[in-house]
């Protein structure tokens, strides 16, 4: 009899409407929290990507400005060291152009003058700009898809 | 009671559910409506922009790394019409700082053409001027709020590069210039325009910063390193200007070339222009051939041509250095009488004497001995009448009349032998004469030494255009020319150095078919040291008034240039070189 009562109580507990409602609420809340987390994560990644994109634009503009400044300085330097300026400067310092008959040559046995290097040795060519890493270009869905495809299960 | 609550809850949930569904339905309806399509279309117009990245134009350096042509930043000053607050202040400031018309600018700002939101007031504004304006804008911006001055809001500055020539007019005839549209004219700028300009890259860039994409790599234009030596070029221009002043010439040209490989070390001519003010081109030059006469202005060279006639005669076996010629002062060729420059008879001469005294009669006799076929074959092989292929824009081919041409007459065989009735540019004559200085091999003159693109370097090799004469002929004639200069005690000689060369004095043909009796072209071509030629110099003075003779005008200019060249190229005197060889 007692056992029957206990079973009856347990059954009543299991089918109690408030308990079912609570389960529903719990599930909905879980779904809402999950969606909120995904939304927050997506927003965070999107914001970071947007900031990085803007930084890239700023840096690109900075590079262009630096290159222009460099070209300006190079031209300015060339003006300051132009043939006419250098000649004037040499003359103001008391130098005079040497005549061919005033040059004295000294023969040094065994010495051969090095040939002037007209153009410098070429550096390694940089054929393209550095690539942007995927973290800045992938969407969250892309990342999921990539993760799944790269997982051992996905590779199977 | 409990059932009642349940019913209410269900009703409320149903209502909320319906409300939610209605929202979703409305959202979907809006998203798929006609208006949404229009908005999407409008948004897509701004989703990306086609951007063109223009590479910086390649620089031009001399062989020692001195910048001859570079780039500098200039500004486009414009006004954003939607942002202008005080048109009076903007117009007044621009009028004072940039010199634009105040009334016109104010009218443009107050009543702009329909549909315009931005107007360019002035382009290619120098950086310092733009900086002054920017500072003024910032200052007035601060004071405008206090109501003291008008605001310059709306004034905008866009930086862009412009070609700059740090050396001004130096080597202007070699370099050429670039106009504001970025197109090269004349010289290296035109010849290598495509390489220097590089390739613009067109890219569609999303405006959404979230859609990051690779920055396109835009390689700069190719950088060129020329064979020209800046300091030697400056010296050549200075010596040329002095020579023109001293001898009262109308103009002139000096070209210095390495006869071993065809590298042009200097190429000076007059007039020259400051390349930073290229818009003066029309004021300075009457026609395009004046920009660089050394390559684009053929003229009758006169006696410098005799070295080619003698080379042909020696190589064909028509004469040997010891061949004797009795000069009677005149010779009949094709029914016309040819006389010497002094109308004199020089008696018995060997071939060196013919060159030393520059005897027209002797050279005309030589050409008739060769016959037209051999003579013109040699001249053709020397490159006369053809482009040399020098890498400068605007080269002219000159003219070599040959038998069969409608305007060729038998007398031309005699007159062509001493450089009359034939038109050639200084660079053509240098190329032809290089075969004599270079043991029979003709070099192709060039100004490009190396090009650098994206860190890769390409050096232009020396190129040869064949061997019109044998090595033995070249060396023999080289010796004859050195001896003839020494025996003549020419003004072209440089103490300590053995020089080979030849003067030229040519009458100038008039448009009426006869020669001007008062004006001449004075020329000199020479090279040294004669036993190991390392430089070849061509001097051409147009119509010198102090003396009409090349030996008295062009020859001393040559000597001055040669003396400077040996110092700047570190070529020791013959005695020192012989010491070095013996050790």
Q: What is the pLDDT of residue A54?
A: 82
Q: Is A114 on the interface with B (CB under 8 A)?
A: no
* B109 Cα distance to chain centroid: 42
Of B204, B226, B248, which one is at a domain's C-terminal end?
A: B226
> Hey, of A75, A81, A85, A140, which one would you mutate to test binding to chain B, going by the most B CBs within 10 A of its CB?
A75
Model confidence, pTM: 0.82
Q: What is the pLDDT of residue B138?
A: 85
**Contact residues, chain A, for B215 at CB < 8 Å:** 56, 60, 129
Do B207 and B303 have their domain in common?
A: no
Q: What percent of chain B has pLDDT over 70?
A: 97
Co-location of B294 and B429 in the same domain: yes
The residues, any chain, with a CB within 8 Å of residue B499's CB and separated by 6 or more, are B482, B485, B492, B493, B526, B527, B528, B529, B530, B562
Instruction: State residue B278's pLDDT score.
Output: 92
Length of chain B: 583
Residues B376 and B517 in one domain: yes
Give yes or no for a contact between B503 and B219, defined as CB atoms under 8 angstroms apart: no
Q: What is the pLDDT along chain B (583 residues), one digit of tens a residue?
A: 567 788 888 899 899 999 999 999 999 999 889 888 888 888 887 788 777 777 889 999 999 999 999 999 889 898 988 888 888 888 888 998 888 899 988 888 888 888 788 888 998 898 888 889 988 888 887 776 655 556 888 888 888 888 999 999 999 999 999 998 889 999 999 999 999 998 888 888 777 766 666 667 788 899 999 999 999 999 999 999 999 999 999 999 999 999 999 999 999 999 999 999 999 999 999 999 999 999 999 999 999 999 999 999 999 999 999 999 999 999 999 889 999 988 989 999 999 999 999 999 999 999 999 999 999 999 999 999 999 999 999 999 999 999 999 989 999 999 999 999 999 999 999 999 999 999 999 999 999 999 998 888 888 889 999 999 999 999 999 999 999 999 887 899 999 999 999 999 998 888 777 888 788 999 999 998 999 999 999 999 999 999 999 999 999 999 999 999 999 999 999 988 888 777 6
Q: Is residue B195 part of a domain?
A: yes
Q: Same domain, yes or no, for B147 and B259?
A: no
Q: Kindly state whether residues B239 and B379 are assigned to the same domain.
A: yes
Does B390 lie in the same domain as B266?
yes
Residue B486 belongs to a domain = yes
Contacting residues for B96 by C-beta, under 8 A, at least 6 apart: none
**Of residues B23, B56, B304, B292, the one with CA closest to residue B182:** B56
The ipTM of this complex is 0.77
- Which CATH number does the domain housing residue B372 bear? 3.40.710.10
Q: What is the band of A65 on the pLDDT scale with cuts at 50, 70, 90?
A: confident
Question: In terms of domains, do B211 and B355 share one?
Answer: no
- pLDDT per residue over B272-316, tens digit each? 999 999 999 999 999 999 999 999 999 999 999 999 999 999 999
State yes or no: pLDDT of A113 exceeds 80.
no
**Of all helices (H) and strands (E), which one includes residue A93?**
none
CB–CB of B503/B551 below 8 Å? yes
Whether B72 is in a domain gets the answer: yes
Could you tell me the CA-to-CA distances from B149 to B88, B129, B146 in Å, in that order?
11, 21, 8
Check: CB of residue B230 under 8 Å from CB of residue B170: yes
A45 touches chain B (CB under 8 A): no
Q: Are residues B249 and B159 in the same domain?
A: no
The reply to whether B144 falls in a domain is: yes
Q: Is the dihedral of CA B510, B300, B324, B487 positive or negative?
A: positive
Percentage with pLDDT > 70 across chain A: 82
Give which of B420, B419, B318, B307 is closest to B368, Cα–Cα: B318
In terms of CA atoms, which chain B residue is nearest residue A122? B455
Q: Average pLDDT in the A39-56 region?
A: 86
Domain that holds residue B205: 54-226
Any alpha helices (H) in chain A, and if so which ranges?
Answer: 2-14, 17-80, 83-92, 140-150, 152-155
CB < 8 Å to A123, chain B: 455
pLDDT of residue B228: 96
What is the predicted pLDDT for the residue at A155? 45
Q: What is the pLDDT of residue A58?
A: 87
Confidence at residue A131, expressed as pLDDT on a 0 to 100 scale? 61
Residues B197 and B264 both lie in one domain: no
**Which chain A residues contact residue B496 at CB under 8 A?**
100-101
pLDDT tens-digit readout, B553-562: 999 999 999 9
B572 Cβ neighbours under 8 A, 6+ residues apart: A103, A105, B580
Look at residue A152 in the predicted model and tell me its pLDDT: 63
Distance CA B442, CA B432 (A): 6
Q: CA B288 to CA B293: how far, in whole Å?
A: 9
Q: Does the structure show a pLDDT above 50 at A127?
A: no
> Is A72 at the interface with chain B, CB within 8 A?
yes
Most confident of the ranges A56-70, A81-95, A97-111, B76-90: A81-95
B68/B161 same-domain check? yes
- Contacts B164 to A, Cβ<8 Å: 75
Q: Give the integer Cα–Cα distance in Å for B492 and B485.
A: 8
**Together in a domain, B222 and B236:** no
Quick one: pLDDT at residue A156?
44
Calculate how close chain B gets to A52, using CA atoms only, in Å. 8
Give the sign of the dihedral formed by CA B528, CA B533, CA B534, CA B536: positive
- Contact between residue B393 and residue B346 where contact means Cβ atoms under 8 Å apart: no
| Residues of chain A contacting B214 with CB distance shorter than 8 Å | 129, 131-132
CATH code assigned at B180: 3.90.1310.10
Compute the nearest-CA separation of A5 from chain B (Å): 25
Q: Is residue B30 part of a domain?
A: no
Q: Is residue B456 part of a domain?
A: yes
The 10s digit of each residue's pLDDT in B179-201 is 988 899 999 999 999 999 988 88
Q: Is residue B6 part of a domain?
A: no
Name every chain B residue with its beta carbon within 8 A of the beta carbon of A105: 572-573, 576
B373/B478 same-domain check: yes
| pLDDT for residue B192 | 96
Angle between helices B306-316 and B471-488 (to 10 degrees): 140
Of A53, A99, A122, the CB nearest to B563: A99
| Cα–Cα distance for residue pair B76/B121, rounded to 1 Å | 8
The Cα–Cα gap between B156 and B153 comes to 8
Q: DSSP letter for B497, please.
A: B
pLDDT at B128: 87
Match 């350096």 to its residue by tokens.
B61
Dihedral sign computed on CA atoms, order B200, B204, B208, B209: negative
Is A119–B459 a contact, with Cβ atoms under 8 angstroms apart? Answer: yes
Specify the number of domains making up chain B: 2
Nearest chain B residue to A86 by CA distance is B231
Task: Identify whether B252 is part of a domain.
Answer: yes
């Amino acid at each position: 009899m007692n056992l029957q009562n206990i079973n009856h109580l347990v059954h009543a507990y299991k089918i109690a409407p408030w308990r079912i409602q609570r389960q529903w609420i719990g599930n909905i809340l879980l779904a809402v929290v999950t969606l909120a987390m995904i939304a927050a994560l997506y927003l965070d990644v999107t914001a970071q990507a947007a900031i990085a994109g803007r930084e890239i634009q700023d840096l690109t503009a900075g590079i262009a400005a630096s290159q222009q400044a460099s070209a300006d300085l190079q031209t300015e330097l060339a003006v300051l060291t132009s043939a006419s300026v250098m000649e004037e400067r040499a003359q103001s310092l008391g130098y005079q152009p040497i005549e061919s008959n005033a040059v004295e040559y000294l023969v040094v046995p065994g010495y051969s003058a090095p040939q002037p290097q007209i153009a410098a040795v070429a550096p390694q060519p940089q054929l393209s700009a550095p690539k942007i890493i995927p973290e800045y270009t992938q969407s969250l869905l892309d990342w999921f898809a990539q993760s799944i495809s790269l997982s051992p299960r996905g590779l199977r | 009671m409990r059932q009642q609550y349940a019913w209410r809850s269900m009703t409320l949930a149903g209502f909320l559910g319906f409300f939610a569904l209605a929202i979703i339905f409305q959202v979907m309806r809006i998203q798929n409506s006609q208006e949404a399509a229009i908005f999407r279309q409008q948004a897509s117009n701004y989703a990306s922009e086609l951007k063109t990245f223009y590479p910086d134009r390649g620089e031009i350096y001399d062989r020692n790394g001195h910048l001859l042509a570079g780039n500098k930043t200039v500004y486009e000053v414009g006004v954003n019409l939607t942002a202008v607050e005080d048109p009076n202040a903007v117009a007044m400031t621009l009028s004072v700082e940039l010199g634009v018309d105040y009334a016109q600018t104010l009218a443009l700002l107050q009543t702009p053409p329909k549909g315009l939101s931005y107007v360019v007031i002035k382009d290619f504004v120098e950086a310092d001027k733009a900086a002054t304006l920017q500072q003024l804008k910032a200052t007035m911006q601060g004071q405008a709020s206090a109501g003291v001055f008008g605001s310059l809001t709306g004034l905008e500055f866009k930086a862009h590069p412009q070609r700059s020539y740090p050396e001004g007019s130096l080597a202007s005839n070699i370099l050429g210039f670039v106009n504001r549209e970025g197109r090269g004219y004349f010289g290296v700028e035109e010849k290598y325009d495509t390489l220097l300009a590089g390739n613009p890259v067109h890219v569609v860039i999303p405006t959404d910063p979230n859609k990051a994409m690779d920055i396109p790599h835009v390689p700069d234009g190719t950088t060129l390193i020329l064979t020209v030596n800046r300091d030697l070029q400056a010296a050549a221009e200075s010596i040329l200007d002095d020579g023109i002043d001293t001898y009262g010439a109308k103009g002139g040209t000096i070209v210095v070339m390495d006869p071993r490989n065809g590298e042009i070390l200097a190429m000076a001519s007059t007039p020259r222009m400051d390349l930073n003010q290229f818009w003066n081109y029309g004021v300075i030059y009457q026609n395009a051939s004046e920009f660089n006469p050394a390559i684009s202005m053929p003229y009758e060279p006169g006696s410098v041509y005799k070295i080619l006639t003698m080379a042909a005669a020696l190589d064909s076996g028509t004469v040997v250095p010891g061949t004797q010629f009795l000069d009677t002062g005149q010779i009949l060729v094709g029914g016309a009488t040819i006389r010497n420059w002094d109308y004199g008879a020089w008696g018995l001469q060997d071939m060196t004497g013919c060159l030393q005294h520059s005897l027209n009669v002797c050279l005309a006799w030589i050409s008739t001995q060769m016959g037209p076929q051999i003579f013109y074959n040699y001249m053709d092989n020397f490159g006369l009448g053809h482009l040399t292929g020098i890498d400068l824009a605007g080269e002219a081919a000159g003219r070599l009349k040959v038998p069969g041409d409608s305007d060729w007459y038998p007398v031309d065989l005699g007159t062509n032998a001493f450089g009359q009735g034939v038109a050639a540019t200084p660079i053509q004559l240098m190329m032809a004469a290089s075969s004599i200085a270079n043991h029979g091999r003709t070099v192709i003159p060039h100004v490009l030494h190396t090009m650098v693109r994206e860190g890769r370097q390409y050096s232009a090799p020396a190129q040869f255009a064949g061997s019109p004469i044998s090595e033995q002929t070249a060396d023999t004639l080289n010796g004859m020319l050195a001896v003839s200069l020494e025996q003549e005690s020419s003004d072209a000689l440089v103490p300590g150095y053995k020089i080979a060369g030849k003067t030229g004095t040519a009458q100038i043909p008039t448009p009426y078919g006869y020669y001007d009796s008062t004006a001449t072209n004075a020329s000199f071509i020479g090279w040294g040291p004669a036993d190991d030629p390392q430089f070849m110099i061509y001097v051409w003075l147009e119509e010198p008034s102090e003396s009409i003779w090349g030996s008295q005008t062009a020859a001393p200019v040559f000597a001055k240039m040669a003396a400077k060249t040996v110092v700047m190229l570190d070529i020791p005197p013959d005695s020192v070189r012989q010491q070095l060889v013996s050790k």
